Amino acid sequence: MKAPTFEMNRRSFLGLGATAAVAAGFGLAGCSPQASSSAGEGSTASAAQTVELPVGAPKGTPKTATWCAVPEAIADVVEEKSFDVVVVGAGLAGLAAAATAAENGATVAVIETLSTYQTRGQDIGTVNSSFQKANGLEASESDINDMCLALQRYAGNRTDQRLYRVWGQRSGSDFDWWYNTMLEPKGYGIEIPRWPMEVEYDPVDGEWFPQFCNQQEFTVPEGEEAGMNGGFPGAVGELEAYAKEHGAEFFYEHRGRQLVRGGQPNGTEGRVEGVIAETSDGSYVKFTATKGVILATGDYGHNEDMMQAWCPSQAQLAIDTNVYPSTGNVGDGHLMGMWIGGMMQGIPHAYMAHGTPGSLGSDPFLLVDINGRRFTNEDIPGQSFSDLAEEQPQTVFWQIADAKYPEQLKWSSPTHGAQMSFSGDIDAWNAAIETGDKATIEAMLTEQGVNMQYAWTVEELAEGIHVDAATLQETLDRYNGFAHDGYDADFGKQAKRLWPVETPPYFYSSSGQWAFMLTMGGLKGTEKAEAIDAWGNPIPGLWMAGNVQGMRFAIDYPTIVCGLSHSLCLTFGRVAGEQAAAADSSETEHESVYAVWKEANPEGDAAGGAAPAGGGAPAGGDAPAQG
């Protein structure tokens, strides 16, 4: 497996706050995921063979996926340690789980492949935190219904509504717990980006993609230097500190390799009782978990095999532009969970890959394609734009604005994905435009961090973007006509964002740049963050949170709730921590009435009727009316 290199310039371009504040290299021979080409290392199958896939492997997993096959059980454990709860992975989800379980009285171990915990980004999208409510963003029950259903629609109805309901009900109080307990006492503050909005309109009903304005960001304590991600990295660090204060022990450079279920590594019956970890010298330590294990191993974006199989559209992008610093994210938790009977969400998996159409961010300025023609309603949030961009011929397209763009920016939606605002002196800008003062224009572009070319005529503009001048003129005439009429007959863009392109100079930029961040498919489970088996029963002793938790996203990352990823990590980390700390260790199996019936009636169909091909009526079951 090739580990893609982390490119600072991409992160800077994105402005997404990918600070690897604590990102660390491996420096670990035995522990390095790159050291083995497959997380299923230990499998007896050779690459040329087809293999027996675990029951939970999603339909479409290639039969040759040796990395997916259940490996031989690790036998040479050299050391054993015992805790109530073992958390695998120290990202936001794992830290929230550890802090919560420890706070609830459990003895906790956190094992982490890398040499420190992981964090990136800064937005966290919750519902009804105290700060949101105090700032006029209180959501009623009906608002929460709307949000949850909008998310469900956005995911093509392929996610688990129960998970969204839990988020809708408790993410605000989970955020309050974090802020009030750990952050406020240390001087962190909270901000809601672009709120209150500069202009009056309804960001939910007034948008093609509703914007629920859930995101909050942390500011750093006074006197501390704010990096690209403000107070977020420090805030994540406070979770680690809090977990430690409550007795949690951290074992960095320990990579979880196999779960122990029913006394067996990779066992498929009974309770999950621990995990075997590999240390930096290649030896194995068994962490017994008397109450249970919480998987929080993140995604599998750094595992090329898994990307090809489960998120193929992004596999190449993940190699070329993976901006995720967590090179430990190779899908270990996904595999360990399946090997003991867990079920993977269907594929292809959703992903996070942000980009913007141009230097003016994902603000809805005119876009033209490689031939100078308009191709979309430009009013699309960042991530959704990346999806569309990938389909464009040569992946080339141009964002075009005119000299009035600084005044228009405020009408952009408060959406996720690199919005720009103009903080310069607007009179100075207008004067420079009026007089054609190139030096001032260029200085102000630089000051605003905007990298755009400009042209004083449509011909020059056409030359700059390599399109036919007559076609471009036609596009501009039509678009400007719509702008003046206040009605976009071609794509229905809202009048308030139909800005004519008619006042030179014309500014243009091409992005074609977007970056892969992570995958968002994982193991199926319950609203209590328990992993489930093929019969839908919770696997005793196994919980999960973060990107290894499935059914939270499908198709696309929902930018209608900015910061949802972090919020789900926090909430389900907390749910998993609470559940694991309170677990009854004597519970070893959940009885499935259906499984018992099915075993006795292998040919019976699920509705209780006869199997279509001569199976006969199931024993004891009256065929229902529809059967």
Ligand X SMILES: Cc1cc2nc3c(=O)[nH]c(=O)nc-3n(C[C@H](O)[C@H](O)[C@H](O)COP(=O)(O)OP(=O)(O)OC[C@H]3O[C@@H](n4cnc5c(N)ncnc54)[C@H](O)[C@@H]3O)c2cc1C
Cβ at position 293, least distance to ligand X in Å: 11
Residue placing its CB nearer to ligand X in the complex, 517 or 581: 517
- Closest separation between CB of residue 148 and ligand X, Å? 17
CB of 237 to ligand X, least distance (A): 13
Least distance in Å: CB of 438 to ligand X?
Answer: 35
Cα separation, 315 vs 516, whole angstroms: 9
What is the residue type of 273? Answer: E
SS3 of residue 365 by DSSP: coil
Q: Tell me whether residue 115 or residue 268 sits nearer to ligand X (CB atom).
A: 115
Minimum Å gap between C-beta 590 and ligand X is 26
Q: What is the DSSP string of 245-308?
A: HTT-EEEETEEEEEEEETTEET--SS-EEEEEEEETTS-EEEEEEEEEEEE-----TT-HHHHH
Residue with Cβ nearer ligand X (383 or 601): 383
Identity of the residue, 112 or 305, whose beta carbon is nearer to ligand X in the bound complex: 112
Kindly state the smallest distance separating residue 294's Cβ from ligand X, in Å: 11
95-132 exposure pattern, b = at least 16 Cβ within 10 A, e = fewer: bbbbbbbbbbebbbbbbbbbbbbbbbbbbbbbbbbebb
Minimum CB distance to ligand X smaller for 95 or for 483: 95
Contact 232, 563 (CB under 8 A): no
Min. distance of Cβ 534 from ligand X in angstroms? Answer: 23
Q: Name, in order, each residue with C-beta under 8 angstroms of 427's C-beta and a sequence gap of 6 or more.
A: none
Which of 253, 378 has the CB closer to ligand X?
Answer: 253
Q: What's the closest the beta carbon of residue 343 comes to ligand X, in angstroms? A: 19
CB of 95 to ligand X, least distance (A): 8
Task: Pick between residue 333 and residue 372 the one whose CB is nearest to ligand X.
Answer: 333
Closest distance between ligand X and the C-beta of residue 419, in Å? 13
Structure tokens at 515: 């970056």
Rank residues 179 and 499 by Cβ distance to ligand X and give the closer one.
Answer: 179
Smallest distance from ligand X to CB 380, Å = 19
Identify which of residues 27 and 436 has a Cβ nearer to ligand X in the complex.
27
Smallest gap from residue 301 Cβ to ligand X (A): 9
Burial of residue 368 (CB within 10 Å: 0-12, 13-18, 19+) is: buried
Cα(507)–Cα(545) distance, rounded to whole angstroms?
44
Retrieve residue 412's tokens: 């952009």
Residue 495: other Cβ atoms inside 10 A: 11
103 or 123, CB closer to ligand X? 123
Cβ at position 354, least distance to ligand X in Å: 8
When the beta carbons of 17 and 234 are compared against ligand X, the nearer one is 17
Q: Whose Cβ is closer to ligand X: residue 15's or residue 608's?
A: 15
Neighbours of 519 (CB within 10 A): 30
How many Cβ atoms from other residues are within 10 Å of residue 259's Cβ?
A: 31
Shorter beta-carbon distance to ligand X: residue 401 or 518:
518
Give the C-alpha separation, 257 to 335, whole Å: 9
Neighbours of 237 (CB within 10 A): 17
Nearer to ligand X, 58 or 91 (CB): 91
Is there a contact between 328 and 298 (Cβ–Cβ < 8 Å)? yes
Which neighbouring-strand residues pair with 514? 355
Q: Which residues of the shown chain bind ligand X in the complex (CB under 6 A)? A: 11, 16-18, 88-94, 111-114, 118, 120-124, 255-256, 296-298, 323-324, 326, 328-329, 332-333, 352, 517-518, 546-547, 563-566, 569
| Encoded amino acid at 243, one letter | A
CB of 333 to ligand X, least distance (A): 6
- Which tokens sit at 527? 């609203």
Which SS3 state, helix, strand or coil, does residue 398 take? strand
Question: Which element (helix H / strand E) includes 581?
Answer: helix 564-581
Q: Are 229 and 123 in contact (CB under 8 A)?
A: no
Residue 481's identity, in one-letter code, is: G
Residues facing 264 on adjacent strands? 261
Q: Which amino acid does the sequence have at 616?
A: G
Residue among 352 and 452 whose Cβ is closer to ligand X:
352
Pairing relationship of beta strands 124-125 and 254-261 according to DSSP bridges: unpaired
Strand-pairing partners, residue 507, are 401, 454
Kindly state the smallest distance separating residue 63's Cβ from ligand X, in Å: 25
Kindly state the helix (H) or strand (E) to which residue 130 belongs, with its residue range: helix 130-134
Q: Are strands 254-261 and 249-252 parallel, antiparallel or unpaired?
A: unpaired
| Strand pairing report for 538-544 and 530-532 | antiparallel
SS3 604: coil
d(CA 448, CA 440): 12
